[in-house]
């Protein structure tokens, strides 16, 4: 197991980490981890999109609770919260561009407008919520040694709601986070009340914050894909 992957698994399984759903994914062997070079570079974006898309396809064929896809970047390790947020959204935009170019439709169960309260990202036809982790995060639960993007399937939250398990799980996570940080995450909100895009990076943003993302309908061919058309 690569070192960065092992580090992420150890971080999630740590006693203080609040997300019990993520712990379950690790314990079940259902956390897929891809290691990449830099969150402020497009170096690995083609491979990330491909792995993420295929992860979504596998889930659609065999839905299961508590499974996630994570990308752990080697660096940079000295990013401020704003710099990390910028890198995270640059990667999201790049991955979404490639997803659309490869013919993947946006999950119709969610909105593709980042200002819409029902917004979620979509890759491989499945909606995703992103949790950003990095060394300089203000929230202790987000403070991991390497910049990381964890992609969680929106469908899993809907499944938990249908099983009347969502509120109990959410309360457990909030309680654990309060014990760790001393207060509740001010950015936390239920899907459908305010755009979840505000929560992705972990930085506390103002009401005036504007999401730097737009999913294109028909993007031009990304430059780094022009030589590898055989991906599809």
Q: What is the pLDDT of residues 21-63, one digit of tens each?
A: 999 999 999 999 999 999 999 999 999 999 999 999 999 999 9
Q: What is the pTM of this model?
A: 0.91
Q: C-alpha 133: how far from its chain's center?
A: 10
Share of the chain above pLDDT 90, in %: 81
Provide the 10 A C-beta neighbour count for residue 138: 12
Helix (H, G, I), strand (E, B) or coil at 99: helix
CA 51/CA 45 separation, integer angstroms: 10
Q: What residues are paired with 116 via a beta bridge?
A: none
How many CB atoms are closer than 10 A to CB 217?
8
Question: What are the DSSP calls for 44-85, one per residue?
Answer: THHHHHHHHHHHHHHHHHS--SS-EEEEEEEE-S---HHHHH
Q: How far apart are CA 180 and CA 201, in angstroms?
A: 19
Of residues 12 and 189, more confidence is placed in: 12
**Distance between CA atoms of residues 138 and 134, nearest Å:** 9
Q: Are 92 and 69 in contact (CB under 8 A)?
A: no
Q: Residue 4 in contact with residue 71, Cβ under 8 Å?
A: no
Residue 185's pLDDT band (boundaries 50, 70, 90)?
confident
- What is the distance between the alpha carbons of residues 36 and 220, in angstroms, rounded to a whole number? 25
By DSSP bridging, strand 126-133 and strand 148-153 are: antiparallel
Q: What is the pLDDT of residue 220?
A: 45
Q: Which residues contact 16 (CB under 8 A, 6 or more apart)?
A: 140, 141, 180
Q: How confident is the model at residue 227 (pLDDT cuts 50, 70, 90)?
A: very low
* Predicted confidence (pLDDT) at residue 136 exceeds the cutoff of 70: yes
DSSP 119-172: B-EEETTEEEEEEEE-TT-SSGGG--SS-EEEEEEHHHHHHHHHTT-HHHHHHH
Residue 79 and residue 147 in contact, taking contact as beta carbons nearer than 8 Å:
yes
């Amino acid at each position: 197991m690569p070192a960065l992957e092992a580090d992420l698994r150890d971080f999630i399984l740590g006693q203080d980490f609040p997300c019990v759903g993520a712990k379950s994914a690790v314990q079940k062997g259902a956390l897929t981890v891809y290691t990449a070079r830099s969150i402020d570079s497009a170096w690995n974006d083609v491979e990330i999109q491909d792995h993420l898309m295929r992860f979504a396809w596998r889930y659609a064929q065999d839905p299961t609770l508590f499974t996630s896809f994570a990308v752990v970047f080697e660096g940079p390790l000295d990013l401020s919260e704003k710099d990390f947020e910028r890198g995270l959204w640059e990667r999201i935009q790049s991955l979404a561009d490639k997803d659309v170019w490869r013919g993947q439709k946006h999950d119709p169960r969610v909105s593709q407008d980042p200002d819409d309260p029902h917004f979620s990202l979509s890759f491989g036809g499945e909606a995703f919520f992103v949790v950003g982790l990095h060394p300089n995060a203000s929230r202790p639960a987000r403070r991991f040694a390497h910049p990381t993007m964890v992609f969680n399937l929106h469908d899993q939250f809907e499944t938990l709601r249908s099983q009347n398990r969502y509120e109990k799980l959410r309360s457990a996570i909030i309680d654990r986070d309060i014990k760790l940080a001393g207060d509740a995450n001010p950015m936390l909100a239920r899907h459908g009340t305010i755009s979840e895009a505000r929560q992705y990076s972990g930085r506390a943003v103002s009401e005036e914050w504007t999401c730097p993302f737009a999913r294109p309908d028909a993007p031009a061919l990304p430059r780094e894909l022009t030589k590898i058309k055989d991906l599809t």
